[in-house]
């Protein structure tokens, strides 16, 4: 009886820890685009806020995009380093858009307006830099994409 109660209590604790572990907020700086990105994760979605200044807390005055998390979703954006008011999306994960100082345009993969084709590989043209976000459960990875390929970037403090 005591062992059963102990096991039940342990299972409840493990479930609460697992269910509440959605990840943590992270702040990134994309130097090439001169933009800060902060992620605000929840169980099924992540809010990605964009600003030219450091972002501290979430508020409705922020420019943000809410995206779905999971293996079925791809989340990537890119920016024109000359016109920083447009966020280009190649994502199938966008759930909600709340942009005040920016606008979002959806782009097809390998659109020749933004990409150069080299055989079967497409690379962003010189004035563009992109980010790709891997959002699964509590795992979050952000990679910078430019002409040289992908480089994982770490959150700033």
- Output b/e per residue, 33-69; b: 16+ Cβ within 10 A: bebbbbbbbeeebbbbbbeeeebeeeeeebbbbbbbb
Q: What confidence tens digit (pLDDT) does each residue in 76-124 have?
A: 888 888 888 889 888 888 999 999 999 998 888 777 787 777 777 777 7
Q: What confidence tens digit (pLDDT) does each residue in 41-79 have?
A: 988 899 999 999 999 999 989 999 999 988 778 888 888
Tell which wins on pLDDT, 116 or 1: 116
Q: Phi first, then psi: what are they for 108, rounded to 5°?
A: -75, 150
How far apart are alpha carbons 43 and 51 in whole angstroms? Answer: 24
Q: How high is the pLDDT of residue 149? A: 73
- Give the tokens for residue 106: 């959806």
Please work out, in degrees rounded to the nearest 5, the angle formed at the alpha carbon of residue 135 by the alpha carbons of 46 and 106. 70
Q: How high is the pLDDT of residue 48? A: 94
Domain ranges of the chain: 24-153
Do 76 and 90 touch, CB atoms closer than 8 A?
Answer: yes
């Amino acid at each position: 009886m005591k062992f059963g109660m102990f096991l039940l209590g342990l299972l409840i604790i493990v479930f609460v820890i697992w269910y509440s572990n959605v990840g943590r907020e992270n702040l990134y700086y994309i130097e090439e685009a001169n933009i800060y990105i902060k992620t605000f994760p929840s169980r099924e979605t992540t809010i990605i806020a964009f600003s030219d200044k450091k972002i501290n807390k979430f508020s409705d005055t922020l420019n943000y995009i809410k995206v779905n998390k999971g293996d079925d979703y791809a989340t990537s954006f890119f920016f024109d380093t000359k016109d920083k008011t447009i966020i280009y999306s190649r994502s199938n994960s966008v759930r909600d858009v709340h942009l005040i100082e920016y606008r979002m345009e959806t782009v097809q993969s390998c659109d020749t307006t933004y990409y150069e084709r080299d055989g079967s590989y497409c690379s962003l043209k010189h004035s563009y830099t992109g980010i790709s976000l891997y959002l699964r459960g509590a795992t979050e990875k952000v990679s910078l994409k430019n002409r040289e390929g992908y480089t994982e970037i770490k959150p700033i403090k």
